[in-house]
């Protein structure tokens, strides 16, 4: 079972267990991580599950789809080169230890 870490804007790190086949967003909502809203429930339609992938992990998550790319332009917090929607990151075994930084806001 992979585990992942969410780092809040104040620097607090929250390490949580993921279940196989889950997305990073699902793991976050299951553990009630406060910085992930996920209003659309993972359908890549709301951009309220925005994260910044930690530098060391940039190459690993699956490639970005067109929907995700377009939505990130409308995200509430600044879009950066390492911006992703956490509902589009499925937690395969090679993402064990993944670190995701939370933006200062989702709305």
Partner 1 sequence: MSATSRIDSATPERSAPAGVPHLDVDPFSTEFFEDPHRIHDLLREAGPVVWLEKWAVYGVARYAEVHGVLNDPLTFCSSRGVGLSDFAKEKPWRPQSIILEADPPAHTRTRAVLAQVLSPTAMKGVREHFTAMATAKVDELLARGSFDAVADLAEAYPLSVFPDAMGLKQEGRENLLPYASLVFNAFGPPNQLRQKAIERSAPHQAYVAAQCQRENLTPGGFGACIHARADAGDITAEEAPLLVRSLLSAGLDTTVNGIGAAVYCLARFPDQLARLRSDPTLARNAFEEAIRFESPVQTFFRTTTREVELAGHRIGEGEKVLMFLGAANRDPRRWENPDRYDVTRRTSGHVGFGSGIHMCVGQLLARVEGEVMLAAIARKVASIEITGPVKRRYNNTLRGLESLPITISPA
Instruction: Report the nearest approach of ligand FES to the CB of residue 48 (Å).
Output: 6
Choosing among ligand FES, partner 1, none, which partner's interface includes residue 73 (Cβ < 5 to 8 Å by kind)?
partner 1
Which tokens belong to 5? Answer: 């870490």
Residue 79: count of CB within 10 angstroms of its CB: 16
Asked if residue 51 lies in contact with residue 101, where contact means CB atoms within 8 angstroms, the answer is yes
What's the closest the beta carbon of residue 94 comes to partner 1, in angstroms? 25
Q: Find out whether 2 and 97 touch, Cβ atoms under 8 Å.
A: yes
**Which residues of the shown chain bind partner 1 in the complex (CB under 8 A)?**
29, 32, 37-43, 45-47, 67, 70-71, 73-76, 107
């Amino acid at each position: 079972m992979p585990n992942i870490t969410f780092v809040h804007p104040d620097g607090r790190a929250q390490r949580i267990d993921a279940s196989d086949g889950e997305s990073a967003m699902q793991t976050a909502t299951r553990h009630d991580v406060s910085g992930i809203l996920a209003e659309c429930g993972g359908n890549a339609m709301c951009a309220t599950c925005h994260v910044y992938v930690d530098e060391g992990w940039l190459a690993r998550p699956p490639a970005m789809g067109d929907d995700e790319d377009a939505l990130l332009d409308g995200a509430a917090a600044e879009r950066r080169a390492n911006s992703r929607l956490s509902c589009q990151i499925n937690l395969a075994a090679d993402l064990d230890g993944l670190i995701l930084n939370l933006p200062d806001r989702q709305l």
